[in-house]
């Protein structure tokens, strides 16, 4: 066989930026018109970039393309092996190894009795409280999780009646859910999926509707954040079909997780640039929230009447509706969000809104407030990292300085 008849080696020559962009876009199932709309460009501009007819965009545009296509390492898009910047994964937390060891261990024998379900419930509630109240919430939760995981696993193994087993599995599922919050956006995606799957298995064994809904809610997020929108929708819709018959008589806990799932459907629709569907699901979630007491705040999902304003900002931002996202940010009152990390997340969404609306200085000021609320939230948030990196290249010296100072705090630049 002649050399010309051989299958081309895709790695023999460097792949141009435009080709990499096209491969990523097609693998995500995003059309040129949709990507163009989200970037504020024309479809012909996207086609010309992909075809190499026009030069590689500047860094701010590259970063936005990377965000939309969920490119985790910037070098995968640029081809520059010297530009390894992981946009959507934060640093490995010092407690990650200990948490991973506890998750991976399955001892078959034990020389002690498992704690009671009530004891585990109190510890788990304290862990959730710590997650919401501590600015260094990953550190605090990372210290509590290893023993909590081991004891919950032990309780599930030693349960000797059907009701006890179901109760133990419900707690174990929730412990894995807390673990997923800790593991998320850290450099061990296999561990994240292992935790998500174990949470769902334990939830199903528990036959507890709230546990099943929470496990599905977190699994949908994991799928969506990896770019698997169809899988995210499948999990969300199946969970909602399961919960729907229970809602007329549901308590606040089950109602909250149903509302959280409704918003997840809207969030995924917004990521798909499906405007009508996104706002339609937000409306359904808001109606569910209004059925809850005014002061209700779900400890796991944060679902509440108070959170719907923040959710509206997220939908508008994901749809790249700059003006609408700023209007929603002005309406939302982040002070009523009881959780530090959730307040910080809302500040990050506000910052995205301001940047979309052409207010980068306000965006940076808002990210500073997110850092004050919960440093370990913003350090692991890919959107915040992208905005900061982009503004370190700003034309204005004062903005570059502010962005660089924040980049140092986030560990993106050396001091």
Which of 288, 228, 240 is closest to 265 using CA atoms? 240
Contacts 24+ apart (CB under 8 A), 332-336: 333/306, 333/309, 334/310, 336/306
Over 80: is that where the pLDDT of 347 sits? yes
Whichever domain contains 24, its CATH number is 1.10.260.40
pLDDT at 379: 87
Q: Which residues touch 162 (CB under 8 Å, ≥6 apart)?
A: none
3-state secondary structure of 341: helix
Please indicate, yes or no, whether residues 123 and 192 belong to a single structural domain of this protein: yes
pLDDT at 316: 94
Please indicate, yes or no, whether residues 113 and 178 belong to a single structural domain of this protein: yes
> Is there a contact between 119 and 358 (Cβ–Cβ < 8 Å)?
no
Average pLDDT rounded to a whole number, residues 29-33 = 81
Q: pLDDT tier at 226 (50, 70, 90 boundaries)?
A: confident
Report if residue 173 sits inside a domain.
yes
> Is there a contact between 266 and 285 (Cβ–Cβ < 8 Å)?
yes
Report if residue 368 sits inside a domain.
no
Please indicate, yes or no, whether residues 68 and 100 belong to a single structural domain of this protein: no
Please indicate, yes or no, whether residues 145 and 193 belong to a single structural domain of this protein: yes
Supply angle C-alpha 404, 385, 188, rounded to 5.
130
Report if residue 351 sits inside a domain.
no
Please indicate, yes or no, whether residues 131 and 102 belong to a single structural domain of this protein: yes
Q: Could you write out the DSSP letters of every residue in 234-303?
A: HHHHHHHHHHGGGGGG--HHHHHHHHHHHHHHHHHHHHTT-HHHHHHHHHHHHHHHTTS-TT---TTT--
Report if residue 74 sits inside a domain.
yes
Over 80: is that where the pLDDT of 334 sits? no
Average pLDDT rounded to a whole number, residues 393-401 = 88
Q: Give the bridge partners for 86, in sequence order.
A: 73
Phi and psi at 73, nearest 5°, equal -110, 120
Instruction: Select from 180, 207, 234 the last residue of a domain.
Output: 207
Max avg pLDDT among 16-25, 38-47, 161-170, 185-194: 161-170
Q: What is d(CA 2, CA 322) in angstroms, rounded to the nearest whole number? A: 55
Please indicate, yes or no, whether residues 112 and 198 belong to a single structural domain of this protein: yes
| Lowest pLDDT segment from 61-65, 283-287, 301-305, 404-408 | 61-65
Report if residue 33 sits inside a domain.
yes
Please indicate, yes or no, whether residues 73 and 20 belong to a single structural domain of this protein: yes
pLDDT at 21: 87
Query: Who has greater pLDDT, 97 or 414?
Result: 97
Average pLDDT rounded to a whole number, residues 250-277 = 96
For residue range 119-130, what is the model confidence (pLDDT) as tens digits? 999 999 999 999
Stated pTM of the model: 0.79
Q: How many domains does the chain have?
A: 2
For residue range 55-90, what is the model confidence (pLDDT) as tens digits? 888 777 887 787 777 776 667 777 765 554 555 556
Question: Which residues form the domain of 193?
Answer: 95-207
Q: What is d(CA 268, CA 266) in angstroms, rounded to the nearest whole number? A: 5
Contacts 24+ apart (CB under 8 A), 53-57: 56/17, 56/18
For residue range 246-263, what is the model confidence (pLDDT) as tens digits? 999 999 999 999 999 999
Please indicate, yes or no, whether residues 58 and 117 belong to a single structural domain of this protein: no
Report if residue 258 sits inside a domain.
no
For residue range 98-112, what is the model confidence (pLDDT) as tens digits? 999 999 987 777 788
Please indicate, yes or no, whether residues 100 and 69 belong to a single structural domain of this protein: no
Average pLDDT rounded to a whole number, residues 158-166 = 94
pLDDT at 9: 41
Instruction: Select from 78, 113, 132 the last residue of a domain.
Output: 78
Which of 308, 321, 331, 375 is closest to 352 using CA atoms? 321
DSSP type of residue 86: B
pLDDT at 7: 44
**What is the chain's mean pLDDT, rounded?**
87
Please indicate, yes or no, whether residues 178 and 115 belong to a single structural domain of this protein: yes
Please indicate, yes or no, whether residues 100 and 60 belong to a single structural domain of this protein: no
Instruction: Select from 207, 237, 256 the last residue of a domain.
Output: 207
Q: What is d(CA 141, CA 203) in angstroms, rounded to the nearest whole number? A: 21
Please indicate, yes or no, whether residues 167 and 107 belong to a single structural domain of this protein: yes
Report if residue 40 sits inside a domain.
yes
Report if residue 166 sits inside a domain.
yes
């Amino acid at each position: 066989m002649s050399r010309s008849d051989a299958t081309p080696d895709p790695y023999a020559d460097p792949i141009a930026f435009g080709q990499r962009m096209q491969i990523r876009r097609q693998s995500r199932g995003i059309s040129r018109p949709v990507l163009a709309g989200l970037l504020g460009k024309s479809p012909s501009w996207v086609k010309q970039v992909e075809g190499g007819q026009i030069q590689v965009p500047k860094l701010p545009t590259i970063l936005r393309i990377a965000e939309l296509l969920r490119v985790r390492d910037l070098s995968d898009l640029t081809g520059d092996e010297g530009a390894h910047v992981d946009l959507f994964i934060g640093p490995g937390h010092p407690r990650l190894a200990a948490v991973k060891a506890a998750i991976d261990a399955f001892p078959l024998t034990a020389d002690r009795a498992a704690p009671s379900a009530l004891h585990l419930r109190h510890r788990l509630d304290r862990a959730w409280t710590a997650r919401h109240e501590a600015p260094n919430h990953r550190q605090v939760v990372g210290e509590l999780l290893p023993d909590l995981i081991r004891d919950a696993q032990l309780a599930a193994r030693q349960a000797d009646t059907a009701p006890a087993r179901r109760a133990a599995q419900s707690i174990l599922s929730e412990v894995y859910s807390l673990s997923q919050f800790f593991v998320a956006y850290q450099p061990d995606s296999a561990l994240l999926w292992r935790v998500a799957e174990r949470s769902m298995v334990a939830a199903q064994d528990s036959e507890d509707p709230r546990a099943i809904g929470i496990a599905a809610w977190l699994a949908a997020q994991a799928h969506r954040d990896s770019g698997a929108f169809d899988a995210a929708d499948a999990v969300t819709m199946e969970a909602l079909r399961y919960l729907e018959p229970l809602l007329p008589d549901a308590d606040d806990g089950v109602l909250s997780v149903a509302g959280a799932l409704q918003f997840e459907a809207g969030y995924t629709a917004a990521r798909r640039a499906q405007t009508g569907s996104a706002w339609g699901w937000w409306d359904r979630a808001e109606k569910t929230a209004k059925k809850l007491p005014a002061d209700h705040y779900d400890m796991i999902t944060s679902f509440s009447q108070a959170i719907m304003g923040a959710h509206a900002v997220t939908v508008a931002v994901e749809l790249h509706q700059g003006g609408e996202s700023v209007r929603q940010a002005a309406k939302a009152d982040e002070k009523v969000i009881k959780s530090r990390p959730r307040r910080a997340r809302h500040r990050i969404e506000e910052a995205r809104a301001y940047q979309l609306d052409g207010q980068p200085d306000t965006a940076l000021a808002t990210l500073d407030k997110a850092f004050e609320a919960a440093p370990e939230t913003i350090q692991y948030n890919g959107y915040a990292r992208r905005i900061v990196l982009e503004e370190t290249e700003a034309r204005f010296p004062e903005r570059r300085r502010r962005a660089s100072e924040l980049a140092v705090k986030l560990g993106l630049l050396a001091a």
